[in-house]
Structure formats: C-alpha cells, structure tokens
Amino acid sequence: PEAASVGMTEEEASRSGRRFRSFVFPLAALGRAHTVGDAEGFVKVLLEEGTDELLGVHVVGPHASELISEASLAMENLMTPDDFLRGVRPHPTFSEALAEAVELALGRPLHVALRKGSS
C-alpha cells in the first residue's frame, strides 16, 4: 500500500519529551474505500496534549501520496484541528479520512465508535 507522512512519528514525539495523543481512523470505516474495493489502511494523527497542536499525520492506504499534502498544508500553517475541519471535503472521497481522523482525535467521530474511557 501507499504510505505518506508529515511531521513527527510517535517515537519522535516521545523522544522530544512532548506529551501527545495518537488516534487512528481505519479506512474500513470510510465509504469511498468500499466503493472502490480497497478499504485497507488508516490515517493516524498525533495531537499535543493541552494545545491540540497537530504534531504528525500518517496515511497508509489508497491515495496516501495525494492526501498527505492537505495535512502538510495544515501543519505548515499551524492550523488548529477546528481550522482544519472547516475545509470542504466532498462525499464520498478519500479526503474525508483526514477529517474523520481529526474528528476522532477531538472525541467526536462520525464513523467509528469511541472506546470506553476515551474522548
């Protein structure tokens, strides 16, 4: 599968001493992935605790190399998660996976269930 990333990995964030949370949105929960028959993969976002600064985005799956540019632009412009979510993403598209991952990180996912004790 394609893979692309921008920013820190979990290991890099840990080594830097920053406190962070990571969230994984599975492409299996994305409508577009099913319409094209390729639902393997995920989008992972890392947010700094306390500030919600976007520390890293990692995409594995279809169109990863095309999706990462939106995450790169958000990080370069120091967008907050809410700023990022103001963007328009048509349905059904793979770009929705980025928004879904950020929504999950904010505790308000649309297509996946929160685990007990998370939010």
Helices and strands (H, E) in the chain, number of each type: 5, 4
All structural domains of the chain with their residue ranges: 3-105
- Number of neighbouring beta carbons within 10 Å of residue 69: 11
What φ, ψ does residue 22 adopt, rounded to 5°? -120, 145
- pLDDT grade for 117, boundaries at 50, 70 and 90: low
Q: What is the pLDDT of residue 116?
A: 60
User: Is the CATH code 3.30.390.30 the one for domain 3-105?
Assistant: yes
- The active-site residue out of 34, 58, 63, 91 is 91
Q: What is the pLDDT of residue 38?
A: 93
List, for residues 39-81, the tens digit of each pLDDT value.
999 999 999 999 999 999 999 999 999 999 999 999 999 999 9
Active site residue 91: yes
